[in-house]
Copies of this chain bind each other. A is one copy, B any other.
Amino acid sequence: MGQPADGAADDAERVDWRRLEHLELSPILSASLDAFHELGFHGTTVREVARRVGVTVPALYYHHDSKEGLLIALLELSTSDVLARAHAADADGGDDPAQRLSNVVEAIVLRMTERARLAALEGEVRYLSPENRQRYRTVRKGVEDLVLGIVEDGTATGAFDVDDPAETTRALLGMCQSIPRWYHAEGTLSPEEVAGKYAAIALKTVGATRP
């Protein structure tokens, strides 16, 4: 075992970021995800979720304090997960900015495809109260900062050719975040294929050669 000098990075590398284990949602969260997808956040009532789960409204309130609490729970499940995986993917790329960016985009896109329904919920964030929106944005900013750091590193070393690291990072995340809009599990491309294609496109976008 021993004492690794760089504990955080070492821990991150142990996460198998290419493998997405099945996400176990509670019956209430699973029904909430279905309802939010079919009806949107505002079209969903706590009563409707309770009906789908087959519990009473008070029983549901025992576990979650509000409809917003259900969305928050799903969003945090969705986003905390991507952050850990993105950091592991980054660590796995060592010191090579191109490999790091390729890995991180691959990790993000795998989640956007394997868990498209959960990822698509992020469009509902604007309906949260300002306080809760802030909590969620803090998590999301972690991913943005990670990608921005890689783009800046690559630009500094000359591995990338980027004019505006911040805007390029936003564009890269935007292309990934749009995937749940069109990706369907029953389509012709597997999650791995989409992830591979987007990693290659991301490297083009930063003017890098393939790692």
Contacts and interface: CB of A to CB of B under 8 A. Distances in A.
Interface stretch (A10-18, A19-27, A168-176): A168-176
B40 A200 contact: no
Nearest to A124: B40
- Size category of the A interface is 35 or more
A172 B163 CA distance: 17
Nearest to A197: B167
Interface string A111-139: 00000000000011001000000000000
Nearest to A164: B197
Given A40-B42, A200-B163, A173 B178 contact: yes
Interface stretch (A54-62, A79-87, A88-96, A201-209): A201-209
A175 B205 CA distance: 11
A179 interface: yes
A168 to B, nearest CB: 6
A207 B205 CA distance: 8
Residue of A124, A177, A201 with highest tally of chain B CB at under 10 A: A201
A192 interface: no
Nearest to A40: B42
A198 B171 contact: yes
Which 9 pairs between the two chains have the least Cβ-Cβ distance? A42-B43, A174-B178, A40-B42, A174-B175, A171-B175, A205-B205, A175-B175, A167-B197, A40-B40
Given A161-B204, A175-B175, 9 more contacts: A40-B40, A42-B44, A43-B43, A167-B198, A172-B175, A174-B175, A174-B177, A177-B181, A201-B205
